[in-house]
Structure 1
Amino acid sequence: MTEPVFFEPAALPEDAVEVGRVVGAWGVKGWIKVQPYSSSPEALLAGKTWFLAPPDKGARLFETPVRLQLRQSRVHSDAVVAWIHGIDDRDAAESLRGARVFVSRASFPATQDDEYYWVDLIGLDVVNREGVALGVVRDLLATGPQTTLVLSWDDAGKARERLIPFVAAFVDQVDLQARRITVDWQPDF
């Protein structure tokens, strides 16, 4: 299979983060519509280079990751729409349906104090003020007005899950360097 001219085969950067999925074409001039995985898609909008990996299932236009250069991108409703160099018609845009969108973590906008990207929190150890290990951040949930840490931990050989609200009342410190979050939370909660 010959890849289209606008594809530039490229390895994913070591710090690549999957941030969305192409859900189809948008308009008739070759724009694509991307469903971001975050409700705040700044990472998609910040850079001018995206990496696409082939879809998990369905038709594949390419077999290895490719680098795309963006002409423009913007938020549209609950999605991001983008115009890619070399894609100038709806059919070419539609052919990307299902592709997974990655960006380099280094291209994410800087965060403010006490702001964190979810991807930076996943995998961190969580301990309470007494130093008791409560688990490892496996996921985060947006639960209305707050975000909740989803921890996995082992209870005598049985995998368990613990939920802790990610709010100042319970979170004392996030130390990305030490890969640890300290919370005011007891193991029996």
Structure 2
Amino acid sequence: MAGQHVDQDITILGKVTTAFGIKGWVKVYSYTDPMTNILQYPVWLLKVNGQWKEYKLRDSRPQGKGLAAALEGINDRDQALALSQVEIGIPTSDLPELEEDEHYWFQLVGLKVMNTEGQLLGQVKELFDSGGGNQVVVVKGCEGSIDKQQRLIPFVDAIVLEVDLEGGEIQVDWDADF
């Protein structure tokens, strides 16, 4: 397993949920959209016992609402079960280059959210897809925010006015009373 990997250089794309069958296949829950995008990466990093280890993707296929994958060196059910609930990552440098106004969700987590009135609403805790292609940002109160209220803010152009990754801030057209 070549190369040392540290958490800051890794982007999590999904996780192994459990074993699939008896030949070492694993069930995979993908965070990518579409979920099959995780299969575009021929080498996965799995965090086993606190250490990132490289595994080559040998084969894969859709399975129910998820995916099943065969990894090099994982040849039986016991080895596959040992990977249950293990995160799947790739080196962040392997991610495709985005357009100027595009962002990966992981880049937004932790950013401060300010409204047009200059009020700090909180920090981005997470993002999720609410269905139909609608993304929602979960904002939690933080030190200096106007309250400790959790807010769910639609991540759409009409509301999200600016994302400043370098400044660590998102500006939104969102009333504090919403």
Provide the TM-score with structure 2 as the length reference.
Answer: 0.77
Structure 2: tracts of 5 or more residues without a match: none
Change in CA separation of 1:156 and 1:121 when aligned onto 2, cut-off 3 Å: closer
1:39-54 equivalences under 5 Å are: 40-41=34-35, 44-54=38-48
Partner of 1:170: 159
Structure 1 residue ranges (4+ consecutive) displaced by more than 4 angstroms after TM superposition: 7-10, 154-158
Amino acid in the other structure paired with 1:152: K
1:1-189 equivalences under 5 Å are: 10-38=4-32, 40-41=34-35, 44-54=38-48, 62=49, 64-112=51-99, 114-145=101-132, 146-154=134-142, 159-189=148-178
Q: Deviations over 1:92-125 (max 9, x none)?
A: 3333223222222222233445443211111112
Q: SS in structure 1 opposite 2:166?
A: coil
Q: SS in structure 2 opposite 1:14?
A: helix
Amino acid in the other structure paired with 2:172: V
Q: For the residues of structure 2 that align with 1:124 and 1:63, how far apart are their CA atoms?
A: 26
Identity of aligned residues (%): 35
Tell me how large the CA RMSD over aligned residues is.
Answer: 3.0
Whether the aligned pair in 1 keeps the contact of 2:120 and 2:146 (CA below 8 Å) is no
Q: For the residues of structure 1 that align with 2:99 and 2:36, how far apart are their CA atoms?
A: 13
Change in CA separation of 1:84 and 1:10 when aligned onto 2, cut-off 3 Å: farther
Provide the TM-score with structure 1 as the length reference.
Answer: 0.74
> How many equivalent residue pairs?
176
